[in-house]
Amino acid sequence: MEKIDSYAIFVEPFHVDFTGRIFMGVLGNHLLNAAGNHSQKRGWGIGALNETSHTWVLSRLSIEMTRMPEQFQHCTVKTWVESVMRLFTNRNFAILDSEGQPMGYARSVWAMIDLDTRRPCDLLSLYDGDILNYVVPEEDNVCPIEGHGRFSFRNAMLVRTIDTYYSDVDINGHINSIKYIEHVLDLFPREDFERGIRRFEIAYKAESYMGDRLSFLVQENEAAGGTDVEIRKNVTDGSAGDVVCQARVIFNK
Amino acid sequence: MEKIDSYAIFVEPFHVDFTGRIFMGVLGNHLLNAAGNHSQKRGWGIGALNETSHTWVLSRLSIEMTRMPEQFQHCTVKTWVESVMRLFTNRNFAILDSEGQPMGYARSVWAMIDLDTRRPCDLLSLYDGDILNYVVPEEDNVCPIEGHGRFSFRNAMLVRTIDTYYSDVDINGHINSIKYIEHVLDLFPREDFERGIRRFEIAYKAESYMGDRLSFLVQENEAAGGTDVEIRKNVTDGSAGDVVCQARVIFNK
C-alpha cells in the first residue's frame, strides 16, 4: 500500500473568516480527518484500535502556511508517517492547491494510549510493529518547516477566562482539539487576521471537560516573532491551576 | 433541469457531540451548503448574484429530526424550492439516511437583497421571473413538519451575555448564521442533549458584528413543549437593545 495518502478538501462558505481565508481550526480539522483516513486504511484507525482498547492521542500540531486556502477552493492534503518511536509517532502533512503547488505544511505528534489504563503504549511492539511498514523513506518526507517549538511561560498575563459548554465537547466528553484553536485565535484583534496567520502551533497537555473554566495567559515571544498562549483550568485565587494546552501564533509581517 | 437536488454529507468525528450525534449547527451548515449548491447550479448562486449586486439573506430555518445523523454516517440532503412570493422564497429539505429513509426535514425562508441599497428585491421580477422555473409541483413537495412558529417574548429572563470574536464572523463580517445556533444550544445543560434535539427553529432578524456583545433571554414555551431564546445586542442598563435572532429548541421527551 502507498505510504503517502491524499485527502481532498473543499473550502465551504461558513469555513472562511472575514478575509475569505479558511479558519485555522477548520484547516486543522481537515488535517486530522486526513490523518484518520490514512490510519484507517492501514488498519490503524480508531475503529480498529478501539477493538483492542487503544486510541490515538494528539500531542502536538504545528501548521505553517505561505498561502491559506480560500473560499470555494479545492485543495489536497497529503499525509504520511515520518517516524515512529516507542511512545510517539511523527506524522507530516502537505497542503497543495488544485495545481498541486504547496500552500503550506504541517507536523504532528501522536501517542497511543490504552483505553482501560489511560497509559501510553509501546507503538513498536503493538501489532508486531506493523506501523513501521508505513514510515516513508527519507527522500519522500518533504516537510520544509521548522519542528515543534518549546514553550516557556515566565511572565504570561491572564487575558481571558471562559466557561465551556455543549458545543466545545467531542464524542469522548473532552473539549475538542479544534475548539482550543478557535478559543486561542479569538484572543487576537481583527487587524492581525487581515495580515493572516503564518504559523500556528499547539501542544495538548491535559484534557478538559464540559463545564471547565479555561483561563488564557498570553506572552509575547520575540525570538519566534509571535505570541505564546497557555490555557489553564481550575485557576483560582489560591491556585495557578493545571496546564491544558500551549499554543503559539505567528502572524504575517 | 431537475427541480430537486441531492447533496451528500458525511458525518466527521469533530462534527458530533458527546452522544455521537451530529451538532445541529453542523447539520444546519450542511443544509445551507445544499441550498447554495442547488441555487448555484440553476444560475441563482451568490457568485452569479453578486455580479448584479444581489445576494440571498436567510430569514428562517426550522429543522425537525426523528433521528440525528451519527458519526461516520453517510446521508443525503434533498432540497427544492417550495414557493416564491414577491419578497420571500420557501426552500425545503429532507435529510435521508444511506438507505434513502427520511431522518428529518427542514424548512427555510430566504429574501433577496440589493447589495448597494441593502433593501429587499422583488424575486418575481428579477431575471424575468426565472426562479419560478424551479418551484416543485405540489406532489413533490414532501415536507411533513410544521411551518415556522411565532415568537412572543413577554417574560423572558436574561441568562447569559457573551462577547463575539474572530471565530464568530463570516466573510461578510457578520456573526455567522451557524454560530448563533451554537451559542443558543450552549445555554442548555448536558442532560437535555442526552435525550437529543427534536426540533430547532431560528429567525434571523438583524445582523450583528465582531465585537458586539450578545445577550440571551430565555422563556419556556409550554404550548410548543420547548424553550424560546431571544438574542439581543446593545443591551445596557438603560436599553433593551435590538433583537438579532429568535430561536426555539425542543428536546425529545
- Counting one residue from chain A and one from chain B, the pairs whose CB atoms sit within 8 A come to 92
Measured CA to CA, the distance from residue A174 to residue B133 in angstroms comes to 48
Per-residue pLDDT of B24-80, as tens digits, reads: 999 999 999 999 999 999 988 877 888 888 999 999 999 999 999 999 999 999 999
CA dist., res. B201 & res. B181, Å (int) = 9
Does residue B115 contact residue B55 with C-beta atoms inside 8 Å?
yes
pLDDT of residue B90: 98
Of B12, B33, B177, the CB nearest to A33: B12
CA distance B191 to B74: 27
Residue A214 to residue B15: CA distance in whole angstroms: 22
Amino acid at B167: S
Is-contact A70 A40, C-beta < 8 A? no
Output the pLDDT for position A49.
84
- B172 Cβ under 8 Å from any chain A Cβ: yes
Angstroms from B67 CA to nearest CA on chain A:
17
Residue pair A60/A204 in contact by the 8 Å Cβ criterion: yes
Q: Which three cell numbers stand for residue A115?
A: 483505553
Count of other CB atoms within 10 angstroms of residue A67: 14
Closest to A61 measured CA to CA, from A205, A214, A222, A220: A205
Would you say B63 and B124 are in contact if contact means Cβ atoms under 8 Å apart?
A: no
Within 46-75 of A, beta carbons closer than 8 Å to B belong to 46, 71
Binning pLDDT at 50, 70 and 90, where does residue B212 land?
very high
Q: Do B29 and A23 touch (CB under 8 A)?
A: no
In this structure, which amino acid lies at residue B177?
A: S
A238 to chain B, any CB pair closer than 8 A? The answer is no
Closest B-chain CA to A18: B171
pLDDT grade for B203, boundaries at 50, 70 and 90: very high
User: A187 contacts in B (CB within 8 Å)?
Assistant: 165
The answer to whether residue B170 neighbours chain A at the CB level (below 8 Å) is yes
Q: pLDDT at position A25, please?
A: 98
**Chain-centre distance of CA A205, in angstroms?**
12
Per-residue pLDDT, B44: 84
B111-144 per-position pLDDT tens digit:
999 989 989 999 999 888 889 999 999 999 999 9
Instruction: Give the integer Cα–Cα distance in Å for B89 and B99.
Output: 30
B20 close to A (CB below 8 A): yes
Q: What is the mean pLDDT of residues A23-41?
A: 96
The β-bridge relationship of strands A197-204 and A54-65 is antiparallel
pLDDT grade for A213, boundaries at 50, 70 and 90: very high
Taking CA atoms, A126 is separated from A40, A131, A134, in Å, by 16, 8, 14
User: CB–CB of B166 and A193 under 8 A?
Assistant: yes
Report whether pLDDT(A43) > 90: no
Q: What is the mean pLDDT of chain A?
A: 95
Q: What span, in angstroms and rounded, lies between the C-alpha atoms of B230 and B217?
A: 5
Binary contact (B193, A16; C-beta < 8 A): no
State whether residue A171 sits within 8 Å of chain B by CB: yes
pLDDT of residue B51: 84
A127 inside 8 A of chain B by CB: no
Question: What pLDDT is stored for residue A128 in this prediction?
Answer: 87
B147 neighbors B92 (Cβ within 8 angstroms): no
pLDDT higher than 90, residue B200: yes
Q: Does B39 contact chain A (CB < 8 Å)?
A: no
In which band, very low, low, confident or very high, does the pLDDT at A28 lie, cut at 50, 70 and 90? Answer: very high
Cell numbers linked to B29: 451548515
Asked if the Cβ–Cβ distance from A170 to B71 is below 8 Å, we say no
Distance from CA of B177 to the nearest CA of A (A): 9
| CA distance linking residue A16 with residue A183, whole number of Å | 16
CB contact under 8 A, A13 and B36: yes
Q: How far apart are the first and last CA of chain B?
A: 42
Chain A CB contacts of B19 under 8 Å are 171
Q: So what's the pLDDT on residue B49?
A: 84
With H, G, I as helix, E, B as strand and everything else as coil, classify residue A23.
coil
pLDDT on residue B48: 81
| % residues pLDDT > 70 (chain A) | 100
* Dihedral sign from CA coordinates of A193, B26, A203, A2: negative
Q: Do A170 and B16 touch (CB under 8 A)?
A: yes
Q: Is pLDDT at A151 greater than 90 in this prediction? A: yes
Alpha-carbon span A132 to A197, nearest angstrom: 34
DSSP-derived 3-state class of residue A192: helix
- Judged against a pLDDT cut of 90, whether residue A51 lies above it is answered with no
Chain A partners within 8 Å of B172 (Cβ): 18
Q: Is the Cβ pair B170, A13 closer than 8 Å?
A: yes
Task: Work out the mean pLDDT of chain B and round it to a whole number.
Answer: 95
| A106 half-sphere exposure, CB direction, 13 A CA radius | 27
Chain A residues whose beta carbon lies within 8 Å of the beta carbon of residue B33: 12-14
pLDDT value at residue B45? 83
Residues of B in contact with A46 (CB under 8 A): 13
